[in-house]
Amino acid sequence: MGVKIYHRPDLHHPIMFVGWPGIGNIGLIAVSTLKEILRARELGEIDPLHFFYPRKVVIEDGLLVDLEFPASRFYYQRVGEKDVLFFIGEEQPSDGGRMYARGEKAYQMANFVLDVASEFGCHRIYTSGACVSPIHHQMKPRVCAVATSSEVLQEVRRYSNTIVMSELGERREGEGVITGLNGLLLGVAKSRGMEGACLMGEIPDWLSGAAFPYPKASRSVLEVFAQILGIEIDLHLLDESERQIEEIVESFYAKFPKEMKEEYDQRKTILQIRPGTITIQAQIYIDEQYKKGSEEGGEAPS
């Protein structure tokens, strides 16, 4: 059990971007896409055996060829004058089949990630996730921020299309919970004297239970990442997946009855404070195949 580091590059106060799966995989897609765009190199990994059940077995002609575990990998790259670390976890460690990490293993994994960050002199961590909001799907998702200190919060507020949680509708007190490791990591970081922020792309509330990703919000998060790094990034990598998801979402929207559509469309012009009944009604229009939890696992022969 532990961390394997393959290279020891000389990094100067790197910042770290971290992503795990979550609602709409907004954070995971944002961090993975940034890693791809910057062509970050693999640095190391966390041994999966202690954390995960294997997700795939490959059996060919009676021979057990491979057993694949969810990967938890570190990457690094230099961007201009900045050194950047990445951590991408394909799954959150959880006991009992929960989607989000909790308990001892979650805490251990958070500490493993931060151990590596510390080892390379990193003091600033950015995680990402979803902010479930009563927004219209045709609106550009904003990026909602929570930080470990008021200084970091002030810094994050300066980025365009970014708001802090207390400015967001029903969360006027800036209270809430960031479920799973995208949240926990920041808590553990704070307790270890590190600073950071969680940048959450908005997803319409009625889509938060859907099984498909929401790259439109990942794009918003990536635009903030680019501001943090002080670079321009070409996000065409997201174009195709964004188009496909838009098509699915628009097909649901097209099925809304006229009155419901009118009420929902008010979201474009009037700030919504609470989800309201429209959210529940709209969720009904998501087909069974796109709802989370419909897949069943299990081994079977071919």
Partner 1 sequence: MTSRVLDFLIEAFEGQEVGEIEPLRFFSFGGVRFKEDLVQFQESKFWALKRHNLLIFKSDEPEFEYYLFLNTLLEVAEHYFQIEELYTLSGTLSLIAHTSPRRILTVYNRKEWKRRLEGYGLEPMTWKGPPAISSYLLWVAKKRGIPGVSLWPEIPFYLASREDPEAIRVVLSFFNQRFRLGLELGWLEREKQEQEEKILDLRRENREIDDYICRLEKGLPLNEEEQVKLAREIDEHLGKRG
Euclidean distance between CA atoms 118 and 121, whole angstroms: 5
280 in contact with partner 1 (CB under 8 A): no
Euclidean distance between CA atoms 124 and 264, whole angstroms: 39
Q: Are 167 and 215 in contact (CB under 8 A)?
A: no
211 in contact with partner 1 (CB under 8 A): no
Q: Are 29 and 217 in contact (CB under 8 A)?
A: no
* Per-position x/- string for 13-52, each x denoting binding to partner 1 as judged by CB under 8 A, each - no binding: ------------------------------------xx--
Shortest Å, Cβ 107 to partner 1? 15
54 in contact with partner 1 (CB under 8 A): yes
Residue placing its CB nearer to partner 1 in the complex, 5 or 67 = 67
With CB under 8 A, what is the number of residues at the site for partner 1? 23
Q: Are 55 and 70 in contact (CB under 8 A)?
A: yes
Euclidean distance between CA atoms 156 and 163, whole angstroms: 8
Shortest Å, Cβ 181 to partner 1? 18
Residue placing its CB nearer to partner 1 in the complex, 135 or 181 = 181
State residue 245 phi and psi, 5-degree precision: -70, -40
**DSSP E strand boundaries for the chain:** 3-5, 15-19, 41-46, 56-60, 63-68, 72-79, 82-89, 124-133, 143-147, 162-164, 195-204
Shortest Å, Cβ 108 to partner 1? 13
Query: Per-residue b/e over 204-220, b at no fewer than 16 CB within 10 Å?
Result: bbbbbebebbbbbbbbb
288 in contact with partner 1 (CB under 8 A): no
Shortest Å, Cβ 104 to partner 1? 10
Instruction: Specify the pairing of strand 143-147 against strand 41-46.
Output: unpaired
Q: Which of 57, 211, 271, 284 binds partner 1 (CB under 8 A)?
A: 57
Shortest Å, Cβ 52 to partner 1? 9
Q: Which stretch binds partner 1 (CB under 8 A): 128-136, 182-190, 246-254, 294-302?
A: 294-302
Window 245-264: residues binding partner 1 (CB under 8 A): none
Q: Which stretch binds partner 1 (CB under 8 A): 33-41, 122-130, 281-289, 293-301?
A: 293-301
Q: Which of 42, 95, 151, 250 binds partner 1 (CB under 8 A)?
A: 95
270 in contact with partner 1 (CB under 8 A): no
Q: Which of 2, 10, 62, 288 binds partner 1 (CB under 8 A)?
A: 62
Euclidean distance between CA atoms 243 and 257, whole angstroms: 24
Shortest Å, Cβ 72 to partner 1? 15
Structure tokens at 70: 């969810």
Query: 104 CB contacts (<8 Å, ≥6 apart)?
Result: none
Query: 137 CB contacts (<8 Å, ≥6 apart)?
Result: 204, 207, 216, 249, 253
61 in contact with partner 1 (CB under 8 A): yes
64 in contact with partner 1 (CB under 8 A): yes
Q: Which stretch binds partner 1 (CB under 8 A): 21-29, 62-70, 155-163, 232-240?
A: 62-70
Q: Which residues bind partner 1 (CB under 8 A)?
A: 49-50, 53-64, 67, 95-96, 297-302
